[in-house]
Amino acid sequence: MEHVEYVYTVGMTDAEVDEYLRTGEHGVLGLADADDAYAVPLSYHYDGTRFLLRVSHHDDDSDKRQYLETTDTATFISFDASMADSWSIQVRGPIAPWDEDVDEATLDGWFPPFRLFDEAVDDVEFTLYELRMESVVGRRTVE
């Protein structure tokens, strides 16, 4: 295609992937149920070994909760793109509730402020999920 502009990308090193994930905060989680797909923006926390997602819920019938229960392999994409620079990291693996107790002060340090959408603060609860990082692929633009 001669009238299309291209930007070249390269694979990231493990160190680059680690740095980008440690400094990032948000991305999109892709889930599935048979032939149906569902994607939701979420905040995450990565400490070099664990990849945790903060999932809000305010009722047991939410789409998120239903798809979390039916997904065998989840995909999370963290990215940033501009005209001059871009990067993306894809994390894939099994996802399950994270059972360790964490106090609210620690959670506030791990995650950015939660963005409410038409919910009362008192009605929102969180569950932490761990996405086991079985496959991690990063790409960035060539400088």
pLDDT, one tens digit per residue, over 17-52 is 999 999 999 999 999 999 999 999 999 999 999 999
In a domain, 2, yes or no: no
Min mean pLDDT across 5-14, 44-53, 64-73, 116-125 is at 116-125
Structural domain that includes position 93: 9-141
In a domain, 61, yes or no: yes
CA distances from 62 to 3, 40, 54, 65 (A): 44, 12, 15, 5
User: Is the CB of residue 75 less than 8 Å from the CB of residue 37?
Assistant: no
Q: pTM to 2 decimals?
A: 0.89
49 DSSP assignment: S
Question: Which residue(s) pair with 80 in the sheet?
Answer: 87
In a domain, 1, yes or no: no
Q: Exposed, middle or buried by CB within 10 Å (0-12, 13-18, 19+), for 50? A: middle
In a domain, 4, yes or no: no
Domain tally for the chain?
A: 1
pLDDT at 10 over 90: yes
